[in-house]
Structure 1
Amino acid sequence: MIPEPILLMGGTGAIGRLSARALRAVYPDLPLLIGGRDLLKSREVADEIGQAEGVVIDPRAEDLGLGDRKVRAVAVFYADERLAGLRFAQDRRLPHLSISSGVYEIAPEVATYMHSPSAAAMVLGYEWLVGATTIGALVCAKAYAKIHEITIGALVDEQDGGGPAVAEDFERLSQMMPAALTRRDGSYVWRSNDDARAEFHAIDGTRIEAAGFSSIDVAGLAAATGASNVQFNIATGISSSRRRGEPKSTEIIIELAGEDHDGHPLRTRHAVFHPGGAAQLTALGVSMILERLAGLDGNAPTPAGLYFPFQVIDHATYLSRLQAEGGSIVPLDAERAGPN
């Protein structure tokens, strides 16, 4: 029996293609629908991926122009202002993943979920690189009994464009979010102007000037760890690998401070690293979420609910696949104060 396909809306873009390839690498017989605005382009990408069909998406139609054909799950790779993909998924009780909205744009999606909370699983995939930051931080957090501070520094290589859709997302978010959502002393505040200026050190120790960024990672990590201080900063520049004369990469610096399991102060720095850049790390998270939403791994599909990516993906499996792609969580340094 041929399984129902997964619909990739915006599957012709850079992230969509990489996500399709990531799914194909693990599930060679999984059928995919590559949805886009241009049928010829959709079919070209489908032929490239294999075991896939190119379709045109009509965001104004309740059925997206797909008629009554069956679909297993829906992933959206662009800013879906009409919530066309979510409406389609909710009407058919299908799991849904969207990765392009900013933290200020989630209200319509949350409202849709609240109206039909038992329809299907819905993942707010707006974490930086779709789970890479939060999973990395939570893995590193295992060394702590209490976490007081989490500081994230995302370095995007200036050669790591990610495609037109990614560029549109960044332009939209930078215009709409001049201030950065931050948790400070237990309160949520918005950093702006000089308060939003920041710096961090890359994997190779280079000092990087950065700026505050409103990522939903702040809210997710604060809720998961109880940390009273959480901030996210981002910078564009030269990645550590390229400074060594190697190809571009992406790196996420994770700084934690708190108490270890013996009650002693502890401060650590790690980096999530991927040699393929931000797009490939994003595709890893997308493919693993879709795997779980649809139950492709042989386990029960993710039940109805509203989720962060880190709640859906198995962390150990994520680390294993990250390493298989040449990535890793790199320990940088730590400060531990023992008993006097």
Structure 2
Amino acid sequence: MSFDPVLLLGGSGAIGHQAARALKATYPDLPLLIGGRDLTKAQNAAAEFKGAQGIQIDTTSADLGLGEQKISAVVVLYHDRSLAALRFAQSRGVPYLSISSGIFEIAPEIASFMQSPEASAIVLGYEWLVGATTVPALHLSHAFSQVHEIRMGALVDEKDVGGPAVAADFEHLNHLLPAALTRRDGDYIWREGDEAKAVFSALDGSEITATGFSSIDVVGLASATGATSVQFNLGMGISSSRRKGGNFSTEIILEIAGLDHSGQALQTRHAVVHPGGAAPLTGMGIALLLERLIGLDGKPPVAPGLYFPYQILDASHYLARLAQEGGELLDLSSS
């Protein structure tokens, strides 16, 4: 079965490269359009992949400058303040995935969906590394009859820079929203100042100084599990693998507390790790979402609607792909 090209806007950056690599690893014949403002950069990025083409995008045009070019899905890898790509996707009736907006910036996308709810599938892909926390956390929550608290600690190695676009996104988010959306005892609050400071233990037991981060993971997991307390803390430093003398990696600590299926208190602690760092894990999540959104796996495409990534991604498939890439979901409960 043949598919129209997937349009990767901002695809010449580090995340775009990893998303294209992950897609081509499973679907080598899938055509890609690497779109950007700089045609030369887009063409150079596309040259690395068979069946990819670099194109220049015009966000002032309703068709993005693509004319009658057919598209199977639109992926936005930067903060698109104009929502030109979303309007384009809705006009073509194709799935749309965006990964770079903050939790406080989703109102325009939600409004666009509410205006045309049957136009296309829209994925708010702002979960940390596009599902790397929520998918494993929901998988682990099956061990509980009731989930009371979820604590997420993401460690980004200081050498895992991810490219200028990623750095710009973080600067933008931290500048506009220094407070951290958190659920505490059933209420949504904003942690700021000293209250936003946190410490969590890394994979190797090292204490990581962290700060509360307003990730959409908080509201997604609270809604999906019923947990009355959910928080996300972000720390930068030396990853456990590099502290042991190896290369940097990315790691996410997931701590869940509640009741098991016999009604007894249960606390678990796990780590999601990827040896390549944040960008490959993000690219993997994007590729798996596109696989389901347009039916690359032979299953029916996702119906029009508004989705979190975890509502589309299958946990067993996600974890199997993570293992194929050298990543792991590690049980740290006994350590």
TM-score of Structure 1 vs Structure 2, range by shorter chain: over 0.9
In 1, the alpha carbon distance for the partners of 2:25 and 2:193 equals 44
Q: How many residues align?
A: 335
In 2, the alpha carbon distance for the partners of 1:296 and 1:121 equals 15
State the one-letter code of the partner of 1:309. Answer: P
Classify the secondary structure of the residue corresponding to 1:29: coil
In 2, the alpha carbon distance for the partners of 1:43 and 1:178 equals 37
Look up the match of 1:338: none
Look up the match of 1:320: 320
In 1, the alpha carbon distance for the partners of 2:238 and 2:334 equals 25
Q: How does 1:56-71 map to 2 (within 5 A)?
A: 56-71=56-71
In 2, the alpha carbon distance for the partners of 1:115 and 1:319 equals 35
**CA drift at 1:143:** 1.0
Classify the secondary structure of the residue corresponding to 1:298: coil
1:230 equivalent in alignment to 2:230: yes
Look up the match of 1:159: 159
In 2, the alpha carbon distance for the partners of 1:69 and 1:327 equals 37
Q: Deviations over 1:195-227 (max 9, x none)?
A: 101010000000111010000000000000000
In 2, the alpha carbon distance for the partners of 1:2 and 1:94 equals 16
State the one-letter code of the partner of 1:116. Answer: S
**CA drift at 1:307:** 0.4
Q: Deviations over 1:163-183 (max 9, x none)?
A: 111000000000011100000
Alpha carbons 1:266, 1:334 under 8 Å: kept: no
Alpha carbons 1:267, 1:334 under 8 Å: kept: no
Look up the match of 1:133: 133
Pairwise CA RMSD? 0.9
Q: How does 1:1-340 map to 2 (within 5 A)?
A: 2-334=2-334
TM-score (norm 2): 0.99
- Flag structure 2 segments of 5+ consecutive residues without an equivalent: none
Q: Deviations over 1:146-200 (max 9, x none)?
A: 0000000000000000011100000000001110000011010000001101010
**CA drift at 1:39:** 1.2
Q: Aligned residues: percent identity?
A: 61
In 2, the alpha carbon distance for the partners of 1:168 and 1:42 equals 19
**CA drift at 1:2:** 4.4
Distance 1:266 1:72, change over 3 A: same
Alpha carbons 1:182, 1:190 under 8 Å: kept: yes
State the one-letter code of the partner of 2:252. Answer: I
In 2, the alpha carbon distance for the partners of 1:284 and 1:125 equals 13
**CA drift at 1:3:** 2.3
Q: Deviations over 1:5-56 (max 9, x none)?
A: 0000001010011100100000010000000111121111111111111100
In 2, the alpha carbon distance for the partners of 1:334 and 1:113 equals 45
**CA drift at 1:333:** 1.5
Q: Deviations over 1:134-154 (max 9, x none)?
A: 011111111111000000000
State the one-letter code of the partner of 1:295. Answer: G
Classify the secondary structure of the residue corresponding to 2:133: helix
In 2, the alpha carbon distance for the partners of 1:299 and 1:245 equals 43
In 1, the alpha carbon distance for the partners of 2:59 and 2:332 equals 46
State the one-letter code of the partner of 1:226. Answer: G
Classify the secondary structure of the residue corresponding to 2:66: coil
